[in-house]
Amino acid sequence: MAQTKREIEALLAAAGTQPKHRFGQNFMIDQNLVRLVADAGEVATGDWIIEVGPGTGTLTEELIARGGRIIAVEIDRDLAAALRSRFASVDAFQLIEGDALESKHRVNSKLLEVIEQARQADSAARVKLVANLPYNIASPLVIELLLAGVELLAFTVQKEVADRLRARAAEEAYGPLSVVAQLLGDVQVVRTLPPQAFWPAPKIESSLVKIVRTDHESVASIDRRAMGEFVHAVFSYRRKTLRKALAEAGHDAAAILGATGLDGQQRPEQFTPLQFAAMFAAANQPPI
């Protein structure tokens, strides 16, 4: 059962701490939401579940009850100590104390090591992210975990990020996050969540997002990280025409446009994820 606001306050007081804005802490206090997040994660016995920002462990308890093997990552020392004590007798729980991201584009090396060990120990088991993500790291973390091969991600995040993840070409929220996420997975916004579902209540709406990693055939054999860098570089000139944006990003615009047949007079935001994949493939075509 999800912890109530009063229970969370008591747990924080016992740990000698309180919600920390710098860590983006907003605790889930809606029991239905806790179950909904676990449902979106399709948690089954034996799954390896990455939970970033477990806080006081309310979602953690639900994930363990469903048979998940939990890899929790908590940056807050006070909460890490409380979690370590609370789940000390649970074999299916392990804790990594630290930031889930070592840098903007690098996942915590200990987390990557544990993921690799999990896959070696059980090649049939699936690795998933199921979490109430700290808002301040959500965007880069989602992409980095997709690049790391995590099969399914179910997470709560600010609605603005959810809108960017699912945005289509030419929409206002469309950008590099949309392109890369949609090339690597099937993005679904399950539900919009009111501020009152969390404590402290954020000033904005949140969303529950589910991404199933698909690795579209257009990116199956390419360097995905390099593709992401290419997309970001082109979008950094989003107010220019595609022809100028490609050139400014250091690419042979004429060759790419000639190979793809795309209209170089349109802006980058007009092109779909698959068209960006085609541009990247053309940009990396070996010389004849």
Which class would CATH give 5-215?
alpha beta
Q: Which of 83, 17, 91, 97 is nearest to 55 (CA)?
A: 83
The segments of the chain whose pLDDT lies below 50 read: none
pLDDT given for residue 222 in this prediction: 81
Beta strands of 148-270 (E only): which ranges? 152-158, 185-193, 198-199, 206-213
C-alpha to C-alpha distance for 265 and 85, rounded to whole angstroms:
60
Element (H, E) at 84: helix 77-86
pLDDT given for residue 219 in this prediction: 73
Which class would CATH give 224-283?
mainly alpha
Residue 200 in tokens: 């402290």
**Secondary structure (3-state) at 2:** coil
pLDDT digits (tens, 9 = 90+) for 240-262: 999 999 999 999 999 999 999 99
C-alpha to C-alpha distance for 158 and 194, rounded to whole angstroms:
10
Sheet holding 127-132: strands in order across?
A: 93-97, 69-74, 48-52, 127-132, 152-158, 206-213, 185-193
Q: How many residues in total does the chain contain?
A: 288
pLDDT given for residue 24 in this prediction: 87
Q: Which of 69, 8, 59, 67 is nearest to 38 (CA)?
A: 59
Crossing angle of helices 273-283 and 176-184, rounded to 10°: 90
pLDDT given for residue 1 in this prediction: 62
Q: What proportion of the chain, given as a percentage, has pLDDT over 70?
A: 97
Evaluate whether 5-215 and 224-283 have a shared fold: no
Domain boundaries, the chain: 5-215, 224-283
**pTM attached to this predicted model:** 0.93
Residue pointed to by tokens 């000390």 = 88
